[in-house]
Amino acid sequence: MKIFNSIAELRLELDSQRQNKLCIGLVPTMGNLHAGHLRLVEEAVQNCDFVVSTIFVNPLQFGPDEDLQAYPRTLKEDQSKLISAGCHCVLEPSVDELFGSNLESQTTLHIPSISNMHCGKRRSGHFDGVATIVCKLFNIVNPSKAFFGLKDYQQFLIIQKLVADLAFEIDLVGIETVREENGLALSSRNSYLSKKESRQAATIFKNLNEVAIKIQQGQRDFQDLEQQAIINITEAGLRSDYFSICHAQTLEPATNLDSDIVILAAAYLRTTRLIDNIRISL
């Protein structure tokens, strides 16, 4: 696996690969890789000829009181995992390499409407940072396919809109959430949790499942279902951020007429913020 710190050098490598008419796949990450990330790489390897991963902790998507400095960085371990997964090369740029020396003057993107809901409502500017770095990586790599996990479901819809609105010729591939045995969605931030806290955090997925079953059985008082789930999550020792039953594409509150639904949840365990979702078709 080739390791690049320079955008220009990566582009030279990719130009060489394209001369052979290879399908380029992209897997963007912030590192501290787990089995969910590696599933993305493995899917990319199966579906593309040449796979590029990126490891970059993006400061634009962190708020002033969030965990940018504490975010786990495990570069050597990540490189070994990428090699085992069959990745062909990885871009590990510095902040200066991607954004120059003045981050405050960086051009940013805003995806209207959908960026302002749910996680976007709670984390002002977060999805602007996500959209900006993803767009930049798309321009650097120019992949045929890009692979993202569906645990970050709102993020996936935002990137989907970005691709459509800016006319990128990229196939987005969403990969289902990989979970721990207790159901907790894998996340780099799970490393902040003790074993006991990991069991506590699994109550998020437990409540998502329970609400999904109730909806499939015909219950349609969505606000009542949301409130009961929030009570359950709170009683398990977490602080609920939101629990929302939504239309699966717009993320607006679901109505009785909707057949494709996503249930989104976010909660804090101490200072660790955890998100998850489950999608159902009626």
Tens of pLDDT, residue by residue over 124-148, are 899 999 999 999 999 999 999 999 9
Res 221: pLDDT? 96
- Residue by residue, DSSP assigns 184-248 as PBP-GGGGGS-HHHHHHHTHHHHHHHHHHHHHHTT---HHHHHHHHHHHHHHTT-EEEEEEEEET
Residue 30 corresponds to which tokens in the numbers above?
């912030």
Pairing of strands 50-55, 24-29: parallel
Tens digit of pLDDT for each residue in 180-225?
A: 999 999 999 999 999 999 999 999 999 999 999 999 999 999 999 9
Q: What is the mean pLDDT of residues 44-56?
A: 98
Res 101: pLDDT? 85
CB 104 within 8 A of CB 13: no
Q: What is the mean pLDDT of residues 35-57?
A: 98
Q: What is the mean pLDDT of residues 267-272?
A: 95
Q: Is 37 a catalytic residue?
A: yes
Contacts of 215 (CB under 8 A, 6+ apart): 222, 225, 245, 261, 280, 282
Asked if the model's pLDDT at residue 27 lies above 90, the reply is yes
CB 205 within 8 A of CB 183: yes
Percent of the chain with pLDDT over 70: 100
For the chain, what is the mean pLDDT?
96
The residues spanned by each domain of the chain are 2-175, 188-281
- Rounded to the nearest 5°, which phi and psi values hold at 134? -65, -45
CB 55 within 8 A of CB 78: yes
Q: What is the mean pLDDT of residues 27-54?
A: 97
Res 64: pLDDT? 86
CA pair distance 177, 185, nearest whole angstrom:
6
Across 246-266, b (16+ Cβ under 10 Å) vs e yields: bbbeebeebeeebeebbbbbb
Res 56: pLDDT? 97
Local confidence band at 21 (pLDDT 50, 70, 90 cut-offs): confident
Closest CA to 229 of 249, 246, 209: 209
Lowest mean pLDDT among 105-114, 131-140, 161-170, 260-269: 105-114
Domain 188-281 bears CATH identifier 3.30.70.920: no
* Total length of the chain: 282
- Rounded to the nearest 5°, which phi and psi values hold at 43? -65, -40
Tens digit of pLDDT for each residue in 78-121?
A: 999 999 999 999 999 999 999 998 888 899 999 999 999 999 99
- CATH for 2-175 (3.40.50.2300, 3.30.1380.20, 3.40.50.620, 3.40.50.170): 3.40.50.620
Res 266: pLDDT? 98
pTM of the model: 0.96
Identified catalytic residue from 34, 37, 110, 247: 37
